[in-house]
Structure 1
Amino acid sequence: SIYFYSLIVRPSSEMVRPKASVAYFNDEGGELPRLGFIPSDPLDPRLRLDGVLCFADGKLDVSSYKDLVECFVGEPEPANHPNPDMPGVRSGEVVPRGLRIWDDVRAGSIGGKDGAGWIASFGWKREGKSVKTEKWFNIRMCGSWRFAFLLARLQLSVWERGLGAARKAAEERSRSDVPDWLREEGAEVADAVVGDDPVVERNAVTTPVKRQRVSSANATGSNNTASVHGDSKPPRPTEDQEPKSCKLSGVLARIRARVAA
C-alpha cells in the first residue's frame, strides 16, 4: 500500500501543549488507525553520524530520508506521547541542548501558517564574533514528530562534530607554526626546571667538609692542633650538576637572541 499524510489539527483542552499532528491515509483515502505507542526507529545507517547525508554547508539533505517516513505511520497524537510537551521523545530520552519545538497551531498563528516540528540550533565563535545557524524539521515534511526529532538531533550532532574537527585542525596548525628550534629549546627549558631525576640532583649538591680538630699524640704538654682536611676544597659540580638557575638562564638567553634575530 502507498501511504500519504497530511497535517491536521486535533482539539485539545491544554492549549500550552502541541496540537499539530499528522494523519495517515491509505491509497483509497481512508484514514489509518493510530497506534498507542511510537513506532520503532529504523536501523538505517543514514541515521548514524558516520552515514549521515548532508549538503556542503553541513545541513541535512532531508529529501534523501523521505523513504523512512513510512516507518512512523500510525504515530499517536502528541497528547498520547510519553512526554506530551515534547512530542517525538521517548520515555527516558534526554533532549540535547540546542533542540526545541515549534507549533504554529498551538501558537494560534494566523495567515495560513500551520507548521510544527523540531528545530536544531547551534552557535559558536568565529573571529571573535558569535555565529548561529538553525535548521527546522517540519512534521509536514518528516511525516511524524518522532522522525522530526531524530533528524534534528542528528543535525545537531553533525554541527558539533564539525566544530570539534575545526578545533582539532586549529590546534594542529598552531603546533605546526612553532619552529623546530623553539620546540627544542623548550625541551631544554623543561629539563632545566625539572631535571631528569630531581631526587638525585638534590643529593648531588656538595657541602664544605667541616674542619676536624684532633689532639696530637706526640704533643709535649702543648695543645697543638692539626686540620685533617684543612687545605682540601669541595669538588666542583660537574656539567650535569650545574645549578638550574645558570642552566635556565643560558637557555632563555639563547631563545631571546633567536627571537631578536
Structure 2
Amino acid sequence: MSVLTLASTPEDAEALRGAEAHRARLAGELAARVAMLLEAVNRDPSAADRIHAGLVSFCDRALLPHAAAVEATLYPAAHGMPEVRLLIESLIGEHRCLAALVDTLRAAPRPADAAADARAVQVLFEEHVAKENGLVLPLLAMSPDVSLAALLADMHRRLAQDTEDSSDHNSEEGQDMRDGQTMETGGCGGVCGCGGAEETAEPELDVREVPHALRHATVFGALDAVPAGSAMVLIAPHDPLPLLAQIEQRSPGRFAVEYLERGPETWRLRLSHR
C-alpha cells in the first residue's frame, strides 16, 4: 500500500520521505546497540564494556550532531509557525536532556548503570523522533513559504562539515561506521579463528510495532550496528522477502539469513554479519 505524502512541492515530498527514513535508521541503530548492551550486561562484562564504548561513540558522532544540525536549520523555520512554536521550544529542551543523558551514559561506572542510562537515551530519542516525523517535518513540507528540501540540504552540509572537522582533529573518531566493516569490538571480530573476539549477544529487533513506511529504514539502521562475526534476530509479521532483497542489494553478500520461525503470525530470522 502506498503512503500519501502531503507537501507543497514534489521536491519537499521526496525530502520529507528521506528525512523520515534517516531518522528511522538512526533510531534503528540506537535500538540495536542498546539491545546488545542490555543482553551483554549479564553474559559478558568485557563485551558490555566494549559495547558501551561503541554506543557512546555512536551518540557523539551521530545522534548529538544530528540534533545540533536540526536545531540550527529546521527549528528556526518551524518556530515561526504559531501552531508549533511551543513544541519547538520543548524539542530544544529535549536536545539538552539528550546531551545530558549521553554524558551520564559516558560516565556510567558499571555496565548495569550504563544499560539503564542507554535505555533512557533510547526512549527519549524515539519519542523525540516521533514528534519531529509526525508534526514538525510535515508542517514544514506543507508550507508554501518554506523549502524543506533546501533546509535539509543545509542540514546535511552542516553534518558533513562537522564530520570533516572531527576527522581533522581525530581521524579515528571521524571514521564512517555505517559501512559495517569495523565496530568497537576489538580483535578480528572472531572471523579468523584467532580468538580475538569473545561471545556477543544477539539483539532482537521487533518491527511489528514500527510504522510500515519506516520498517525497512529501521532495519537498515539496526544492521549497521551489528559487528562482523555477530548477528541480529529480526521479528516480523510476515515473510520479509522484499526486505531481504533490499538488504542484499544494499550490502551484497554481507549478511547470511537463517529462518528461526516461519509464521503463521510471526517470522523470526537470524541475520548474521559475515
Q: TM-score range by the shorter chain?
A: under 0.3
Higher helix fraction (1 or 2): 2
Structure exhibiting the larger radius of gyration computed from Cα positions: 1
Provide TM-score, normalisation by structure 2: 0.22
- TM-score, reference length from structure 1: 0.23
